[in-house]
């Protein structure tokens, strides 16, 4: 045995938006035993599989088109207006677990669009939240995930800049500065969720205190990628895993202090499993 000392980060685990969506789903599953959910309820396969075993059925927009007279959960990422219109046509009851932070951002973008602003959204192409945001602008806003995608010469002289809620704060402000340094007047809206950006600093503090860090997240989680890089920057001995089977004993040396942390979509029970596994080495 390597006599490892293992601690889970108290600030890691689901954000309130994900807690809200999962509680809503579980209440309905406990009552009726089945519920449709449009897209993965959370970007974590382990948690999705747990809920599937309770009767959750994950569907995509193609399946939704043919569904009638059912209850369908909208997850924390939110949806564009077209989904709500389709629900009315198909007599679907939407159980709306869109995160309040995302809903507020959707409203802000809609207001900007109605005023005629040139809207630019820093976000991941085709990400569910971004599709919902774009929908507020009749799909007319420009989405970019890297500044190199924009032609600074031909950009309008005045733009309104938003961010997907889970992007990196540092990158957002870097982009903002590049735009301003190129003579573009930017109405900057830092719409990064504080549940993500505050974790940035908390994680840096956490990652410095340990010899090794095990970061637990699904591979599809945007904020998982951002927060893993925050840990890795601070502590190069950081390892990414999606479940406890992926942990390797070779990563640890005798008497190591090991910290476990995760994304806003990582369930606490999964980090507990990871801890149990590490303690067997």
110 CB-side CA count, 13 A: 11
The DSSP 8-state label assigned to residue 243 in this structure reads: S
Among 4, 6, 8, 15, binds ligand SF4 (CB under 6 A): 15
Q: Which stretch binds ligand SF4 (CB under 6 A): 32-40, 44-52, 98-106, 203-211?
A: 98-106
To ligand SF4, the closest distance from the beta carbon of 43 in angstroms equals 10
Decide if 123 contacts 143 (C-beta within 8 A).
yes
Decide if 203 contacts 230 (C-beta within 8 A).
yes
To ligand SF4, the closest distance from the beta carbon of 11 in angstroms equals 13
The three-state secondary structure class of 263 is coil
Q: Which stretch binds ligand SF4 (CB under 6 A): 95-103, 201-209, 214-222, 271-279?
A: 95-103
Q: Is 43 among the annotated ligand-binding positions?
A: yes
The DSSP 8-state label assigned to residue 240 in this structure reads: E
Instruction: Show the tokens assigned to 143.
Output: 């989405």
Task: Please list every residue from 59 through 88 that binds ligand SF4, using CB under 6 A.
Answer: 76
Q: Is 15 among the annotated ligand-binding positions?
A: yes
Decide if 84 contacts 132 (C-beta within 8 A).
no
Residue nearest ligand SF4 (C-beta atom) = 17
What strands, in cross-sheet order, belong to the sheet with 35-38? 56-59, 35-38, 71-74, 93-96
Task: Please list every residue from 234 through 263 that binds ligand SF4, using CB under 6 A.
Answer: none
Cβ-based burial of 134 (10 A; exposed 0-12, middle 13-18, buried ≥19): buried
To ligand SF4, the closest distance from the beta carbon of 101 in angstroms equals 4
Q: Is 37 among the annotated ligand-binding positions?
A: no
By the rule CB under 6 A, 17 interacts with ligand SF4: yes
Among 12, 136, 168, 195, binds ligand SF4 (CB under 6 A): 195
Which stretches of the chain bind ligand SF4, using CB under 6 A? 15-18, 76, 99, 101-102, 165-166, 193, 195-196, 264
């Amino acid at each position: 045995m390597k006599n490892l000392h293992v601690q889970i980060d108290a600030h890691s685990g689901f954000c309130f938006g994900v807690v809200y969506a999962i509680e809503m789903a579980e209440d309905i599953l406990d009552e009726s035993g089945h519920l449709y959910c449009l897209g993965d309820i959370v970007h974590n396969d382990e948690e999705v599989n747990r809920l599937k075993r309770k009767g959750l059925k994950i569907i995509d927009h193609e399946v939704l088109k043919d569904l009638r007279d059912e209850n369908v959960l909208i997850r924390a990422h939110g949806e564009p207006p077209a989904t709500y219109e389709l629900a009315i046509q198909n007599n679907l009851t939407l159980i709306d677990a869109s995160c309040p932070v995302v809903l507020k951002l959707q409203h802000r973008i809609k207001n900007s669009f109605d005023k005629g602003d040139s809207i630019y959204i820093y976000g991941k192409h085709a990400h569910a939240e971004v599709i919902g945001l774009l929908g507020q602008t009749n799909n007319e806003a420009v989405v970019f995930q890297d500044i190199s995608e924009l032609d600074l010469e031909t950009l309008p002289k005045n733009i309104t800049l938003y961010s997907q809620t889970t992007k990196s704060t540092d990158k957002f402000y870097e982009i903002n500065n590049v735009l301003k340094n190129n003579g573009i007047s930017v109405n900057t809206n830092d719409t990064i969720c504080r549940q993500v950006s505050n974790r940035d600093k908390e994680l840096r503090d956490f990652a410095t205190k340990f010899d090794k860090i095990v970061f637990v997240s699904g591979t599809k989680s945007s904020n998982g990628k951002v927060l893993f890089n925050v840990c890795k920057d601070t502590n190069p001995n950081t390892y990414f895993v999606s479940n406890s089977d992926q942990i390797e004993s070779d990563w640890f040396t005798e008497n190591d202090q090991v910290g476990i942390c995760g994304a806003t979509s990582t369930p606490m029970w999964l980090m507990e499993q990871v801890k149990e596994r590490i303690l067997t080495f």
